[in-house]
Amino acid sequence: MIEAVGLTKRYGAKTAVYNLSFQVRPGTVTGFLGPNGSGKSTTMRMILGLDRPTAGHVTIGGHAFRDLPNAPRQVGALLDAKAVHGGRSARNHLLSLAQLSGIPASRVDEVLGVVGLQDVAKNRSKGFSLGMGQRLGIAAALLGDPQVLLFDEPVNGLDPEGILWVRNLMKMLASEGRTVFVSSHLMSEMALTAEHLIVIGRGQLLADMSVKDFIAANSAGFARVRTPQTDAAQREKLSAVLTEAGGQVLPEQDGALRVTGLALPRISDLAHEADVRLWELSPHQASLEEAYMRMTQTAVDYRSTDDQLAGFAAQQGPGALLPDAAAPVPQPVPQQGWYAPPPPQPGVPHPGVPGSGPVPADQNPYAQPVQAPVQEAAPTPPSLSKSDDTTPEDAR
Amino acid sequence: MAVAQVLNSEWTKIKSVRSTVWTLTMAFVFTVGLGFLISLLSKDQFSKMNARELQFIDPTLTSFAGTGLGQLAMIVFGVLVVGNEYSTGMIRTSLAAVPRRGAFLFSKIGIATLLAFAVALVTSFVTFFVGQAALGRFKASIGDPGVLRAVFGGALYMTLIAVFAMGVATILRSPMLSLGILMPIFFLIAPILGGVEATRKIAQYLPDQAGTKVMQVVTPENDVAPYGPWGGFGIMVAWAALAVLCGWLVLKNRDA
């Protein structure tokens, strides 16, 4: 059990982590999500007593890390795959760590086997790829057979086979009743690995909920409506009717319309009443990744109001701070990203997407921590998801 | 966590990197080799001296002339033992495993110091006997008054140079920065300041200038140092202790 209370870390004028409170419970894999630079690693380092919090505290099993008796037997951590002396062999690296807590050398060979590095155990780690480095780091974390495990971006640099292996390893460790805390900036990865999510952005808590709840709250759907391409007037007409009925309509590049806020049968009825023929009326599910990116994007927007990055963020657009984000989706939205709902537009409230639309910074739901506002602000259009039997992109 | 376990772990670390072997071998080779060459050259010079000048020759110190170069290898050893933890990021792995930072630092410095002393002791005795063999009829005997102290002193001097370097590397947390500061100081600045009459009064309190005194058997003619062999050595101990203490405070209070 890891418990953080009001954790805050400032480096000079920069606040890396602000008033973060959460619990990581044993028996489940808890995902720790946030874009790069959101304070994940800083939080991990504070848990491990490497950095001293400016305010608040974090404990493991009720003890501050520095007060833990025989820490390596209780807590294992992978912080940085590259944090090894390149001139030392993998085995000697692990051996020096094992000797710290009186772990026998035979255990070193055991964990080398577990991570699949037994054949290169005698090689100097200088020649290791990032993936091999990750495996070595995981081996170091497993050495003491600890009850609490922390992994900072463990799948970086791993091949698909390695990613699958890490995913299963995390689940297995958790099923043995251990506390497993895994950070990542990839929502898709966490959706598959973790049962519980803690999402931070700009050092503040955005969400603390189970993956199931997160999906329910954040995967917004939309309908694609296509009118006969030969008749632009029909399209205009339908667009006006749907907007009048309370839906939000966005044109797509190839002439289709993206409609949110209206159930599919209702769209059909409205089209029929307006005497507009439909060539397509299809349900689509937003990806979890998109929902997560919008959530963290909002946090960036919020932070940019009291940060010197303000000018920078305004120039670059909100997506620029997220390395995974493609260039801001142009309007009309390209059809290829059918699973991706449009980014929040000023003046266009977007149901099912918390924090979108014109929310002033001081009313931003993420200005207050914890999940309550997220769940309240996120009603999924019920009929839309009911009629939707496409699987969400992330749950493949 | 027993200190013995940390010591054991640090021993594994230090013996499993090549830089340890290289730097300590260099320290031995430079000290012995240069000491031998200078002793050979000094033999010719001594044979041209008159009786009054011969009063002040110090065959023991002459054989230790290579220390000035050998100590640089010792500095590299000391800097790398500590500094590599920082440059590789290993420090975070280490401190995550040893939350008690004092135990970590003092075990590391302790093991490295013991190893440095073992090498320095061998170096010191080999240097003395090789040097004396080269000096021929001007040689000193190990049984002469003060000579054994000087030979042991030579080993302690080399060891403390390494300890001082470890302390500085812990403060600066970077091997490059540490070497960039320590090398010029010990190779250029201190010898220059010590060689110039006007600055000698200050320079004689620098760690190497003061520490060298412990290797002297015969007091030079124009000696102005207000301390004896052990006094000078004490000044050096104080420098090394100060460096390690500051390093410990930095490690204890800063984020890793």
Work out the mean pLDDT of chain A and round it to a whole number: 78
| Contact predicate A251/A184, CB 8 Å | no
- Please determine, for residue A361, whether its predicted confidence score (pLDDT) is greater than 60: no
Residues 58-97 on A with a CB inside 8 Å of B are 65-72, 75, 77, 79-80, 82-89, 92-93, 95-97
pLDDT at A260: 83
- Which residue's structure tokens are 């689509």? A284
Could you give the percent of chain B with pLDDT greater than 90? 67
pLDDT in tens, B33-63: 999 999 999 998 998 888 888 888 899 999 9
Is A97–B19 a contact, with Cβ atoms under 8 angstroms apart?
Answer: no
Whether omega for the bond prior to residue A332 falls within 30 degrees of 0, making it cis, is yes
Q: Which domain holds residue A273?
A: 220-363+382-396
CA–CA–CA angle B26, B28, B31 (5° rounding): 100
Same domain (yes/no): A177, A280: no
Is B95–A49 a contact, with Cβ atoms under 8 angstroms apart?
Answer: yes
Segment B134-144 mean pLDDT: 90
- Please report residues of A whose CB lies closer than 8 A to that of B97: 71-72, 97, 100-101
> Which is nearest to A374 in space by CA: A271, A318, A295?
A295
Same domain (yes/no): A150, A286: no
- Please report residues of A whose CB lies closer than 8 A to that of B84: 85
Same domain (yes/no): A82, A145: yes
Same domain (yes/no): A16, A164: yes
Domain assignment of residue A352, yes or no: yes
Same domain (yes/no): A146, A17: yes
- Please report residues of B whose CB lies closer than 8 A to that of A67: 99
Is B89–A67 a contact, with Cβ atoms under 8 angstroms apart?
Answer: no
Domain assignment of residue A225, yes or no: yes
Domain assignment of residue A207, yes or no: no
Domain count, chain A: 2
Quick one: pLDDT band at residue A390, thresholds 50, 70, 90?
very low
- Please determine, for residue B195, whether its predicted confidence score (pLDDT) is greater than 90: no
pLDDT at A354: 44
Q: In CATH, what number is assigned to the domain containing residue A226?
A: 3.30.70.100
Quick one: pLDDT band at residue A387, thresholds 50, 70, 90?
very low
More confident call, A252 vs A47: A47
Could you give the percent of chain B with pLDDT greater than 70? 100
Domain assignment of residue A215, yes or no: no
Is A49–B99 a contact, with Cβ atoms under 8 angstroms apart?
Answer: yes
Q: Whole-angstrom Cα distance, residue A346 to residue A333?
A: 16
Work out the mean pLDDT of chain B and round it to a whole number: 92
Q: In CATH, what number is assigned to the domain containing residue A138?
A: 3.40.50.300
Same domain (yes/no): A40, A177: yes
pLDDT at A365: 44
Segment B19-25 mean pLDDT: 94
- Please report residues of B whose CB lies closer than 8 A to that of A77: 96
Domain assignment of residue A396, yes or no: yes
Q: Whole-angstrom Cα distance, residue B191 to residue B235?
A: 17
Classify each residue of B5-43 as buried b or exposed e, where b means 16 or more C-beta atoms within 10 Å of its C-beta.
bbbbbbbbbbebbebbeebbebbbebbbebbbebbeebb
By mean pLDDT, which of A214-218, A334-338, B10-14, B36-40 is the weakest? A334-338
Residues 19-48 on B with a CB inside 8 Å of A are 19
Same domain (yes/no): A312, A180: no
Is B9–A99 a contact, with Cβ atoms under 8 angstroms apart?
Answer: yes
Q: Whole-angstrom Cα distance, residue A29 to residue A172?
A: 9
pLDDT at A89: 93
Segment A198-210 mean pLDDT: 90
Quick one: pLDDT band at residue A311, thresholds 50, 70, 90?
low
Characterize the bridge pairing of strands A221-226 and A280-285. antiparallel
Quick one: pLDDT band at residue A314, thresholds 50, 70, 90?
low
Segment B218-247 mean pLDDT: 91
Q: Whole-angstrom Cα distance, residue B66 to residue B23?
A: 15
Quick one: pLDDT band at residue A107, thresholds 50, 70, 90?
very high
Longest C-alpha distance within chain A, in Å? 80
pLDDT at A256: 87
Same domain (yes/no): A247, A190: no
| Contact predicate A355/A364, CB 8 Å | yes
Instruction: Give the one of A82, A89, A100 whose C-beta lies nearest to B1's C-beta.
Output: A100
Is A50–B95 a contact, with Cβ atoms under 8 angstroms apart?
Answer: yes
Instruction: From A157, A172, A201, give the residue that closes a domain.
Output: A201
Instruction: Give the one of B8, B13, B97 whose C-beta lies nearest to A71's C-beta.
Output: B97
DSSP B4-22: HHHHHHHHHHHHTSHHHHH
Cα–Cα distance list, A334 to A233, A247, A346, A380, B229 (Å):
21, 20, 19, 23, 84
- Identify the DSSP state of A251: E
Q: Whole-angstrom Cα distance, residue B241 to residue B113?
A: 13
Segment B129-156 mean pLDDT: 92
Quick one: pLDDT band at residue B245, thresholds 50, 70, 90?
very high
Quick one: pLDDT band at residue A300, thresholds 50, 70, 90?
low
CB-based contact (8 Å) between A126 and chain B?
Answer: no
Nearest CA in chain A to B107: A100
Instruction: From A137, A170, A201, give the residue that closes a domain.
Output: A201
pLDDT in tens, A152-190: 999 988 899 999 999 999 999 999 999 999 998 888 888
Q: Whole-angstrom Cα distance, residue B212 to residue B191?
A: 11
Residues 128-147 on A with a CB inside 8 Å of B are 140
Nearest CA in chain B to A146: B97
| Residue A62: Cβ within 10 Å count | 9
pLDDT at A391: 40
Beta-carbon pairs below 8 A across chains A and B: 94
pLDDT at A46: 94
Q: Sign of the C-alpha dihedral, residues A108, A114, A120, A123?
A: negative
Nearest CA in chain A to B89: A83
- Identify the DSSP state of A391: P
Domain assignment of residue A376, yes or no: no
Same domain (yes/no): A281, A338: yes
Instruction: From A147, A174, A201, give the residue that closes a domain.
Output: A201
- The minimum CA-CA distance between B79 and chain A, rounded to whole Å, is 15
Same domain (yes/no): A231, A88: no
Domain assignment of residue A102, yes or no: yes
Mutating which of A10, A63, A65, A96 best tests the B interface, going by the most B Cβ atoms within 10 A? A96
- The minimum CA-CA distance between A143 and chain B, rounded to whole Å, is 11
pLDDT in tens, A108-147: 999 999 999 999 999 998 889 888 999 999 999 999 999 9
- Please report residues of A whose CB lies closer than 8 A to that of B255: 45, 50-52
Same domain (yes/no): A313, A191: no
By mean pLDDT, which of A302-306, A354-358, B159-163, B187-191 is the weakest? A354-358
Classify each residue of A292-328 as buried b or exposed e, where b means 16 or more C-beta atoms within 10 Å of its C-beta.
bbbbbbbbbbbbbeebeeeeebeeeebbebbeebeee
Nearest CA in chain B to A140: B93
pLDDT at A22: 95
- Please report residues of B whose CB lies closer than 8 A to that of A69: 1
- Please determine, for residue B16, whether its predicted confidence score (pLDDT) is greater than 70: yes
- Please determine, for residue B127, whether its predicted confidence score (pLDDT) is greater than 70: yes
Same domain (yes/no): A188, A239: no
Most confident of the following: A63-67, A257-261, A384-388: A63-67
CB-based contact (8 Å) between A52 and chain B?
Answer: yes
